[in-house]
Amino acid sequence: MLEGILIGLQTAMSLQNLLMVIGGCLIGTFIGMLPGLGPMSIIAIMIPVAISIGDPSAALILLAGVYYGAIFGGSTSSILLNAPGVAGTVASAFDGYPMARQGKAGKALTIAAISSFAGGTIGAILLMIFAPMLSSVALLFHSAEYFGLMIVGLSAIAAFAGNGQVAKALLMTVLGLIMATVGLGSLFNMPRFTGGFMELQSGFGFVTLAMAMFALPEAIFLVLKPKNIGDDGGEIKDLRITRAEARAIAPVIGRQSIQGFFIGVLPGAGATIASFLGYAVERNLATKEEQAEFGKGSIKGLAAPETANNAACTGSFVPLLTLGIPGSGTTAILLGALIALNVTPGPRLMIDDPQIFWAVIMSMFIGNLVLLILNLPLIPYIAKVLAIPRNYLIPFIMFFTLMGAYIGQNNATELLLLVGFGVCGIALRFANYPLPPLLIGFILGGMMEDNFARAVQLYGGISFIWERPMTLGLLIIAVILILLPSMRAMYARLRSEGVADGD
């Protein structure tokens, strides 16, 4: 391994590759800030540029920098505008945006930058140590296990169910699952629930739904409640985190770096599930007082998904480089770029082309440092988005909302769906229904159905649930995660009754 590290450092530290790292991080960060232009879009656009470079190491370093740069920068629009254009940064809006509304936009961006840097760096260290070994573990996961993993992801709804809101959270999750069934089915390659509209054959777009549930209602609420934002006269303050806050988020960053990385290793999991599970786990581990802050501007609630999604991005390179298996749409595009460069990813990549394998890993350390240096000085300027006068801010949010929805599918029908879902989102917010569970159900529903369908076809029924121990174990974990908040509430109630009886 030491020899590989030295080869990787020698390759990554060349002038050309350093420029590739910096260029990729810059492009990814600024593209990630724009809702609707996620890493998949920009990497697809950058492939011809990468191929023209000629050197496979430099090309992959450039594309990898764009990938984790986009995830790093994707939190900005989530935190400042409540407009998550990338699925992996949806959870960052849950506490990041409330912090921005409380006049802590600078602090929220600082926490996001530090958490992202730590998650990406620790993930790169784990990738360097465990890549060869984890490639064999990833092979143990089949459709049945991925179905169980999706169920565990859905159990994150427990983290969004406030007092007396468990039924509402479940209802919104079911609604999200129902919406995920629109379009081509997994078992039968036929369109369903489209109402005869050709435009719906590919289903609802994630960006359209995310913008409709978060950004569009926010623009309307800014009109209805004009004192929600910018009450400090546009002065951006409180950019630094205190020692107490650093101590509070340090264990969160440590846990979620490890958890996020191992989730990212599993093909088909990725940054989205890692961020949702990270948020849910940290909320369940928090004290009762800290739990009450989640969803209202908790620093732990922001640090957890930001760390997990960046660690998962790094982890997703394990199946890509060691097995040649793309774990997500983005890594599928990266796989296509590798093949176009005449590089065959797989178990022999470390042997046949060690300079490519190790150069990518070493470039991740450099890239995360570049991202931190790039973002921290810019935080006061980025945060000034909140100082834009309301007359300009609301059209700004509306413009990016409409642009993101249209670019996501390149279809004008998406604009009509955006308005329709936006009206529903506003009504649900007025009725105090939690919107995150709907998005979780929608994102994970499609993946869950695909893996369930494959498992049923393979085993001829649902017997895989009890025949495969890993699947059964994952389902038991999901049940525990769902019941844990209720069990904790029941324990607290019994304890308070015991204290009262003692008095």
Residue 461, pLDDT > 70, answer: yes
CB-based contacts of 359: which residues, under 8 Å, 6+ apart?
7, 8, 11, 12, 17, 57, 60, 61
* Residue 139 domain flag: yes
* Residue 363 domain flag: yes
Q: Classify burial at 17, counting beta carbons within 10 Å of its beta carbon; exposed 0-12, middle 13-18, buried 19 or more.
A: buried
Q: Find the helix packing angle between 105-138 and 243-265, rounded to 10°.
A: 30
* Residue 28 domain flag: yes
- Quick one: pLDDT band at residue 252, thresholds 50, 70, 90? very high
| Pick from 202-211, 245-254, 457-466: least confident | 202-211
Q: Which residue has the tokens 């009109």?
A: 223
Give the pLDDT confidence of 394-453 residue by residue, as tens digits.
777 777 777 767 765 667 777 888 888 888 988 888 888 877 788 778 877 877 888 888
Domain enclosing residue 317, as ranges: 1-225+240-492
**What mean pLDDT value characterizes the chain?**
78
- Quick one: pLDDT band at residue 388, thresholds 50, 70, 90? low
- Quick one: pLDDT band at residue 136, thresholds 50, 70, 90? low
pLDDT value at residue 238: 62
CB-based contacts of 94: which residues, under 8 Å, 6+ apart?
160, 279, 294, 295, 301, 305, 436
- Quick one: pLDDT band at residue 35, thresholds 50, 70, 90? low
User: What is the percentage of the chain residues whose pLDDT exceeds 90?
Assistant: 3
* Residue 487 domain flag: yes
Give the residue-averaged pLDDT of 495-500.
65
* Residue 324 domain flag: yes
Closest to 321 (Cα-Cα) out of 42, 63, 21: 63
Q: Which residue has the tokens 């590919």?
A: 202
| Pick from 44-53, 275-284, 432-441: least confident | 44-53
**Based on the structure, what is the number of domains in the chain?**
1
Give the pLDDT confidence of 346-357 residue by residue, as tens digits.
666 777 777 888
Residue 358, pLDDT > 80, answer: yes
SS3 129: helix
Residue 229, pLDDT > 50, answer: no
